[in-house]
Structure 1
């Protein structure tokens, strides 16, 4: 179900206080609320009036609820001529860390000589929201075997300046999964997708996974990634007697036209990840070395990075460039260069870190220490202290206590409170989160508060996110309300979207198995944060949508219609009609081809959100073979509200695996540059990666077997299935096979007889017990030859006396009898047929004893040849005759009574 976020702004002007001292006054002439973007500046026209008989010396100061606001022009000593009015442009810088929402700024005019405040003017700024979501693949397997279980971990990051709801979807083969995930401002969410490979695979194959994330209800925020993994049949891998540590060495060549003419550069990237010794030891080492520093975009991979991490059951040490953090309110995650330590003592843990932030210029150093008690995976309590040293050598400290609990299966709670001191004044911040989940009702409330000068990750913050969902299958009803005034100490701000607030109601009805109908109502407003905005509107509308989700094809159609105020046309005094239609679809063909596309059409009031009425895009992903893959995406254009971030018009990705240790990748994109409407840039990267598999230690718990089926006159020994210790192998044309990773000790080798041709059999009978030696490869041979056959028949001999006087013939027929053929290791039994025949097929060459059991012989029958001893040769068809005597019954008369 697609959730529609309903966003609206209620912008309240602060009452302007006007204080006059004698004949001096000050006022702002263009006193209207301005929509601004964080990190930009805005100019105000101010008039200073001096009706005194002499000139006056004054100073202009600025005050704001959040730090970082400043005047662009130095008005510390402004001369006001006697008896005159003068006008000045007051330039104000909006800090990058400013949270979306309303911000009150106060300008003060102070008499220079006495320090008296002569006049004050309050001004309201509306900081525009920025809607950006990013997705990283934290870990993903590249190779899996039949029966394996693993997982892919995605990191979803909210780079917006407000809380958002993200829509995350996965396409795995023909299966499509979708989930709505709320993420706090500057927060992240780890999404783990479990993988379980079938135990039986017909062949080795390559599987693809397409992951997509976007901000729910916000077109143009779509991000995607394409993953591939090789899946092998069990036992087909080459045995390696060593535990190895994989090191990837990558050379990077890049070109960009972001600064005009093409600029070329190169970098190296060396990273490793793996266990030191056996995986059961849980001693893991990860490291990364990337350089030299090209002063590029970290997301583009042109920044240097040096990092190492060691983890065991007892200890975890991080050194170098890492995202260090302690808690949500103090420092949740900040890229820095430092050292971190965590000691695990069963359920109790203690840790801390020291770091120097790399991308946040206002903090020089951070120190932290904390302790945590976890009585299970769902319940933990954490307490710690964190100190920051800023660029002015001011040291601030904070204490934090937090808890994460799940007391009941349907109830989750999060809580944190933090105290810190700023300017000898105690400041506080707290966060409370409660979520309830049941079969019919789901609800969540998350509230964050921070004092104006709280020295932590948040300051001057009041933020509420809430929703309520009712599920009465096939109908779902959802309500949400969100409000946010947030100020976070962000490392960087990637983009500057418009500012919004909203509330809404949606309902979804499923029908006919594959379809669902979506209805909703909303209010929203949006204005570009610029002195001359491209758009400034408010709208009230409803939404009608239809979703169709088949096995390998999906289609979504929704339309919005309602009333709109365009403040750029007539200051919003009239309302006009508007209408938009959005269509998106996807198609999947097995695991080799995937495609998705979207079209958006806007009608009614034009020129509100962009210069065009239609926007469309498409993405393709295909796998030519197990070694090669290709993906392509195209977007026609983007609405103006996204112009403050890079917008991908055309992107191409090619990946090729030369062999197991060498890979080549090429990526390119053609973008609209952020903060521009028409400037385009081209970026490309060529990466070559070589993998070193460094031996660490010999494997102590597994060994290997090399086997051969020796052809002793049969048609073929190829394609025979052999299994050992849960591993399976298929013989080649010469009968060779390999089985690796077999647990040490006695194991039973099983040769699947159904894989042989007709009348073909191993020379020795199974099972075949082998001894697997640690880190060693043992040899096994088994001859395969033609089988022999024993064919027999029962021959009944009549008693010659049957027709003589005093005898009568036996009338009972000979029934089916049990016949047994046995050798030293094998025994087979069959029943004779109604005609007295029997056969033993596929017998090995050697001595066989054939025995006929007399049970079931009618009275009057007698076995003359109950046993045989036969020496069989390959392909021999031995025929035997079992003679049975049929005795006549003698009639005797009694002479006396």
Structure 2
């Protein structure tokens, strides 16, 4: 018995196994793709093949399993497969727009309809790529604020991509409230605020502009530029006089030179400005003394000069750096005089004389010149120069032809040719300068050649500089640069010259990313000391790499150099050495008020006669706006390159500027300085300066008075925040409702009231544009209230008559002209197609309502076309106007007899003449002839919202050919139209009267 049961059990187990195996392999699914790459928001189509591997018909259900949130576009499919049949299936699924980046599995399965068994299942890997989309919107921003208030603007930052981002908010002229770096998840929206304080000391209306940018990984993704207006709460007194601006300064100088304390005072009076209202006559002067150049860096040489200029004359007398031409005399400081006369046709001539102060080899020099200026970029000039040398009685003579022209829009050229003589020896010089941009090429350079015996500013020299570059792509550019300095020049001894240098380099610039640049270049350069100490003379060949990147608030500059240097100060065979140099410059801006910069470099050079060629240099600088009237900056570093010893070098510098009140400024300057031609023993110097700006009154230019007033609401409470404009100035009412305009020129001006600060149903009780007369030295007072406005609406209703059935078509009640006016204002509109009309919000009070009867439908009349209406504050009044058929007297004529209506027969008889007059009168009253004023004609259709019709909207439009013509008024008589034209000529200068007959333009 047990053996029998075991045999039966084994049979059923193997039978079930055979059935399962048959089911599992009966249908096979194959995907056309195992992997799919998509982006969020896209629809992906997945294709499959289903094949029946059995000998029987298979009834199947196919369905897809997708991650949560994915939308299946294709529903489950039911189908049958014959034995050996293969079927093509497509399923579509949409990826959510904020689906995160990653790999996701989608599965297609087929089930047997009879028992729901899964016959096959195929997975497909869907890789969702990254989408970066950051948007920023300005949600709310005040159009204006009052002085002393904080400007506050609201922004909405949205991440419409599918990865979380860190967004840096960069601002100009405002600051982010809270953290400037915002971390935002996919699909998230975050609000933030930009703020900016304002000073309550503002006395003039100021237009403020600000920018807010959203940066992701240093790249600007969104940028919003906007503005707002700051209105003063107190108005400064306007100056009625034309004043010449002058500044007075007094400086205390102190220095610890060579172990001894020295101090001195220096005073300065300077001025620069116009002598007349139109700015045609200009003057400038400077008086500074005594001379304190012995106090080195802080001390200035004494200087005195005065100059005058207008459009046709320039005069100068005193001390400055005079310049003739770059070849003859490029720059010469001294005491002299200069004059230039300019004619309106471009011709000019002049004279110049100078006695050099810091170049003792020249006793004096003078020049006469003439030229012609075709325009600002095309001119030619001729100079004759004479120099008297201190060591020779003979004069040096120079002549120069100098020109500048622009042959193409982006190309400019300068040329100069000069010839000079000293004694019996003549020699020449020439100069050329070119700057050109064409296509992807940029070319710039200058070249100087001066002969061996040329007696000008340069002599026996050939020097040049040039740069050529090509922009191969928007990111990549290549270039070549070459330069050689002058050798012989008659420089002022006070201005110590820089070292001689000659360089040549190839360079490649590549834009790595937004605000990130890579510069690679090979260069060869030579530098030689021109001073008597002769500290260096070397030549270097090196390769260089430089990276400049600005990332959010951080900006860095990294430079590396490697090459070989030949030191000509050492003996041959011992003067070549490998050199390297690296430098880093980091700058960080905390906000618009505070910033810091640190820098450093390490180098191994072979340039100087020194046992230690290695050099480490580091330093930092801080700039800070400590208060609205206090600013400071500090700089410190441990050393300088020895090549810079020709100039003053500050190892420490502190500057503090304090403005206690307007026009007064106190400045502190302190330096720890290595002075020119010094390589050690720095000195501490400081100065304290006081400056005062004022104006010298020249003449009274304005006869003026003041305007002030109060604005209240209907409940007599002050109306705060109402914007009022008067004579190109704008004010905003304060907490007590007061506004004022000071020093307004006398005469009648228009006062404008801005309704943007009012509620939707509020309106001033005076006109939005009100004429106000200002009297000299008097204060005009204007008070008004803000009240609830009133509205007038209405509709035209047509009353049918017993003869209405005889009329052709529907009575048109569109374009009926209605008018609402009082003593100050007038509104004129037309009815809509349904006969309804609505006037804008108007002021409460007495108004006259009028219907232009000549615009009524033909055959209809209005019983009372003119009505006086009293509108109450807040009232919304509606008028129902009934159009009644016009009564007509029908007169029958038979031969010579006139048959009169029964009503007339009951009255006294009339003569034939009277009857004829009645006929003519009736005919005239029903004539379709009227006059109108044409105010414009255009090739395109215009609406009453157009700027052209702002002051006086048109009443109707007529298209004639390709022109749209616009008209105001419908007048039965020519005289009435002429009167209207005279009024409109103040607005439309070319208005004229036309005549309409039977709906057509007659003339």
Normalising by structure 2, we get a TM-score of 0.56
- Aligned residue in 2 for 1:444: 444
- Aligned residue in 2 for 1:766: 768
CA pair 850-548 structure 1, distance change in 2 beyond 3 A: same
- Aligned residue in 1 for 2:383: 384
1:735-750 maps to which residues of 2 (within 5 A)?
A: 735-738=738-741, 747-750=749-752
Corresponding residue to 1:315 among 296, 313, 316? 313
3-state DSSP class of the match of 1:697? strand
- Aligned residue in 2 for 1:641: 643
Q: Which moved more, 1:356-365 or 1:821-830?
A: 821-830
- Aligned residue in 1 for 2:601: 600
Distance 2:210 2:338 in 1: 37
Query: Offset of 1:603 from its aligned partner?
Result: 5.3
1:369 equivalent to 2:368? Answer yes
- Aligned residue in 1 for 2:616: 614
- Kindly indicate whether the alpha-carbon contact (under 8 Å) linking 1:865 and 1:882 is maintained by their aligned counterparts in 2: no
Higher relative contact order (CA 8 A, sep 6+): 1
Query: Offset of 1:711 from its aligned partner?
Result: 3.2
Distance 2:519 2:430 in 1: 37
Corresponding residue to 1:291 among 281, 289, 292? 289
1:71-470 maps to which residues of 2 (within 5 A)?
A: 238-280=237-279, 282-296=280-294, 300-346=298-344, 347-394=346-393, 395-470=395-470
Distance 2:568 2:308 in 1: 57
Query: Offset of 1:754 from its aligned partner?
Result: 1.7
- Aligned residue in 1 for 2:545: 544
* 1:314-361 deviations in Å (ceiling 9; x for gaps): 221101112222111211221111211111122111111222111111
Distance 1:740 1:318 in 2: 37
Query: Offset of 1:781 from its aligned partner?
Result: 1.8
Distance 1:722 1:846 in 2: 23
RMSD (Å) for aligned C-alpha atoms: 4.8
Query: Offset of 1:476 from its aligned partner?
Result: 1.4
3-state DSSP class of the match of 1:676? coil
- Aligned residue in 2 for 1:53: none
- Aligned residue in 2 for 1:779: 780
* 1:125-148 deviations in Å (ceiling 9; x for gaps): xxxxxxxxxxxxxxxxxxxxxxxx
- Kindly indicate whether the alpha-carbon contact (under 8 Å) linking 1:297 and 1:303 is maintained by their aligned counterparts in 2: no
- Aligned residue in 2 for 1:94: none
Query: Offset of 1:729 from its aligned partner?
Result: 2.9
- Aligned residue in 2 for 1:509: 510
Query: Offset of 1:286 from its aligned partner?
Result: 0.5
Q: Which moved more, 1:530-539 or 1:383-392?
A: 530-539
3-state DSSP class of the match of 2:318? strand
Distance 2:542 2:421 in 1: 46
* 1:782-841 deviations in Å (ceiling 9; x for gaps): 4124235469999x9xxxxxxxxxxxxxxxxx99x99986544446799999xx999989
Query: Offset of 1:233 from its aligned partner?
Result: 7.1
Query: Offset of 1:487 from its aligned partner?
Result: 1.0
CA pair 523-423 structure 1, distance change in 2 beyond 3 A: same
Query: Offset of 1:397 from its aligned partner?
Result: 1.9
Q: Which moved more, 1:598-607 or 1:486-495?
A: 598-607
3-state DSSP class of the match of 1:784? strand
Query: Offset of 1:417 from its aligned partner?
Result: 2.2
3-state DSSP class of the match of 2:252? strand
- Kindly indicate whether the alpha-carbon contact (under 8 Å) linking 2:432 and 2:447 is maintained by their aligned counterparts in 1: yes
- Aligned residue in 1 for 2:845: 846
- Kindly indicate whether the alpha-carbon contact (under 8 Å) linking 1:173 and 1:590 is maintained by their aligned counterparts in 2: no
Bigger Rg, which one:
2
- Aligned residue in 1 for 2:732: 730
Count of equivalent residues: 648
CA pair 821-387 structure 1, distance change in 2 beyond 3 A: closer
3-state DSSP class of the match of 2:643? helix
Query: Offset of 1:670 from its aligned partner?
Result: 1.5
Query: Offset of 1:772 from its aligned partner?
Result: 7.3
CA pair 763-371 structure 1, distance change in 2 beyond 3 A: same
Distance 1:532 1:307 in 2: 36
- Kindly indicate whether the alpha-carbon contact (under 8 Å) linking 2:358 and 2:494 is maintained by their aligned counterparts in 1: no
- Kindly indicate whether the alpha-carbon contact (under 8 Å) linking 2:731 and 2:739 is maintained by their aligned counterparts in 1: no
3-state DSSP class of the match of 2:659? strand
CA pair 881-449 structure 1, distance change in 2 beyond 3 A: closer
Query: Offset of 1:663 from its aligned partner?
Result: 1.7
Corresponding residue to 2:753 among 742, 751, 754? 751
Distance 1:269 1:574 in 2: 52
- Kindly indicate whether the alpha-carbon contact (under 8 Å) linking 1:719 and 1:755 is maintained by their aligned counterparts in 2: yes
- Kindly indicate whether the alpha-carbon contact (under 8 Å) linking 2:365 and 2:385 is maintained by their aligned counterparts in 1: yes
* 1:408-463 deviations in Å (ceiling 9; x for gaps): 22432222222222232223222223333223222234222223332221122121
Distance 2:577 2:533 in 1: 22
3-state DSSP class of the match of 1:641? helix
* 1:759-790 deviations in Å (ceiling 9; x for gaps): 553221132234679x9887362412423546
Return 5+ residue gaps in structure 2 as ranges: 1-169, 175-203, 212-228, 798-812, 885-1003
- Kindly indicate whether the alpha-carbon contact (under 8 Å) linking 2:726 and 2:741 is maintained by their aligned counterparts in 1: no
